[in-house]
Structure 1
């Protein structure tokens, strides 16, 4: 496990409920497309990597698939087990999965690859547990980010806050371009046939307080930046956030936040 992986474990520890109340709804949008790209249907043996609150697992169970779901955070596993009765939900994480070679017909990961320290190693493991001819489908956030995702970064910049040095980034040799070509190329390099990627764009609707609640509770890397500040600095970030978020508010006061993700897929 890399320094990056260790930091991710600490970032998400104990934050399942805060994630469920904030960013989980955002991440749910591409789920039907993800399962379609993996050709998940009745009887498919599917592994959901980084299940989080269990949205992917729940929808896959609804399709009649035989679902195994894993997450590194026990709190997420508890939520996913309640959300997806009928799925085998357990604690496990990349890059070492407790499954036999070729055990699954399809492997899916919704916004998981951006949380591993060595994406190429993670993909090799996903390929190992997928049967020959089986499908793998993954979503990640695109870069540069869409306006809705950039909102927090703008508020931090306006408050004069930069990323703390204690939060690690991927080593250059492990990083890749967060573009359709970059993700498809990573899949191809990992040995997946017919690797491809498409962009998924949508507007996520949330109240300003709901959208702020995730970072305020330390959810994800942006949340770790926020909670590492003094109370005075957090208040300054929130002041700028309130001002900037008004740009996205509709007549009902709810924010419409543009999002952009990448959906990559291939055949083992």
Structure 2
């Protein structure tokens, strides 16, 4: 699964590397991450969250299954301990972190429950496990493009539905203390940027489908803005 992302890592980072910033900031506030905190970001992608945390004096580590993403994360956050591994087998010892995050990541794991158990294993007693990912498709305007590009309509996995994240964390023994929805808008300045952000330079014949599906979300300036939501859950060990 990880290597599916390596060929498009640079383009993904350009358009999506900071997309989840509202969810990240919510987690930082809720878990009181600050100077000296030990934080692991699972599914760290191109490393923007790691760099942000390092700039706040946080002791950061990251892991991703895609070699291309790990390369970018190490470049963006040179002081972070970034490793190549799957979420189901984290290369750290028990209780090494104060906060472990997984943002738009657990749904890509072959075994999300095993991955969630690993997140809990590497956080210390009283520490936080914080997860977030796309909410159900009905609450995400970007799904209009996904629907246009696929013959079969997309379905909501368990982690996108109400209660899904909370159930996953509770099943592995975490104490869920908060959950909810956070807005994660996506905006691009023009049609060319829209097509690049969706197709990553691949499948150019699908560009007209992308543009047509996005028509309702075109702004007066000629750009596009989509309202979307992530679900999040915060738990303690």
Alpha carbons 1:201, 1:261 under 8 Å: kept? yes
Deviates most, 209-218 or 134-143: 209-218
Distance 1:96 1:202, change over 3 A: closer
Number of the residue aligned with 1:208: 191
For 1:70-85, list aligned pairs within 5 A: 70-85=63-78
Number of the residue aligned with 2:110: 117
Aligned counterpart in structure 2 of residue 252 of structure 1, from 210, 221, 230: 221
Deviates most, 188-197 or 118-127: 188-197
Post-superposition CA distance 1:223-244 (Å, at most 9, x none): xxx85xxxxxx62x43232122
Paired residues in the alignment total 235
Alpha carbons 1:44, 1:66 under 8 Å: kept? yes
Number of the residue aligned with 1:223: none
Q: Which runs of 5+ in 1 are unaligned?
A: 1-7, 164-168, 219-225, 228-233
Number of the residue aligned with 2:158: 176
Number of the residue aligned with 2:169: 187
Distance 1:244 1:194, change over 3 A: closer
Deviation at 1:205, TM superposition (A): 1.2
Distance 1:60 1:13, change over 3 A: same
Post-superposition CA distance 1:148-186 (Å, at most 9, x none): 2212223225xxx348xxxxx99xxxx625234221121
SS state of the match for residue 14, structure 1?
A: helix
Q: Which runs of 5+ in 2 are unaligned?
A: none
CA–CA separation in structure 2 for the residues paired with 1:27 and 1:112: 11
Alpha carbons 2:63, 2:82 under 8 Å: kept? yes
Alpha carbons 1:39, 1:135 under 8 Å: kept? no
Alpha carbons 1:48, 1:68 under 8 Å: kept? yes
Distance 1:104 1:97, change over 3 A: same
Deviates most, 186-195 or 50-59: 186-195
SS state of the match for residue 22, structure 1?
A: helix
Alpha carbons 1:185, 1:195 under 8 Å: kept? no
Q: What's the TM-score, normalizing by structure 2?
A: 0.89
CA RMSD of aligned residues (A): 2.3
CA–CA separation in structure 2 for the residues paired with 1:154 and 1:126: 32
